[in-house]
């Protein structure tokens, strides 16, 4: 199995709002598998379909306590607030501190085509919110203020310089 190509900012694909999915059939199950493989290959703990060039509402996550595969994820409830640093495979080199709810309840359709609701806290809640952002074309850099954007530019230059060597 080969990993899929990760689409990186500023490609338009990672800026589009994703279409909802009708139901999970074999091709959607394959998509989940490809996404998980690609996520793991690149050392990620979450991945959204637009990151591999698919404009559909699919996310996967695995922080080490079991795999989550979800279509049409939607946040129903949120609680608490915590600031934490995030990276993104589609924005290489960037680390952004983002304030987000610490606990969420998410609905969606799992890989067995079953409507589910799941409660997540801490890192998993963060990963799910990050991936759901992707489905709305939202990236970690969108949380930056002006000073943060300047700092990010410097970070990116250093990163790409390093990558050239
Ligand atoms: Zn991301």
131 carries an active-site annotation: yes
Q: Cis omega before residue 10 (within 30°)?
A: yes
State the Cα–Cα distance between residues 44 and 62, nearest whole angstrom: 8
- Ligand 1: distance of its center to the CA of 57 in Å? 14
Mean pLDDT for the stretch of residues 155-163: 79
Mean pLDDT for the stretch of residues 6-25: 96
Q: How far is CA 141 from the centre of its chain?
A: 13
- Ligand 1: distance of its center to the CA of 1 in Å? 22
Q: Which tens digits make up the pLDDT trace of 73-122?
A: 999 999 999 999 999 999 998 899 999 999 999 999 999 999 999 999 99
Average pLDDT, the chain: 95
For residue 159, the model assigns a pLDDT of 79
């Amino acid at each position: 199995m080969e990993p899929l190509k990760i689409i990186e900012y500023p490609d338009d694909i990672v800026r589009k709002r994703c279409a909802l999915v009708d139901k999970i059939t074999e091709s959607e199950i394959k998509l989940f598998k490809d996404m998980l493989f690609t996520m793991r290959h690149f050392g990620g703990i979450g991945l959204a379909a637009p990151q591999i060039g698919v404009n559909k509402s699919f996310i996967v996550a695995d922080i080490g306590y079991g795999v989550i595969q979800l279509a049409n994820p939607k946040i129903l409830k949120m609680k608490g607030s915590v600031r934490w640093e995030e990276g993104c495979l589609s924005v290489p080199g960037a680390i952004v501190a983002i304030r987000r709810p610490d606990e969420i309840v998410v609905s969606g359709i799992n890989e067995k085509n079953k409507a589910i609701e799941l409660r997540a806290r801490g890192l998993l809640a963060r990963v799910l919110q990050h991936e759901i952002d992707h489905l709305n074309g939202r990236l970690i850099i969108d949380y930056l203020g002006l000073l943060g954007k300047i700092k990010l530019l410097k970070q990116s230059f250093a990163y790409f310089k390093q990558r050239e060597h």
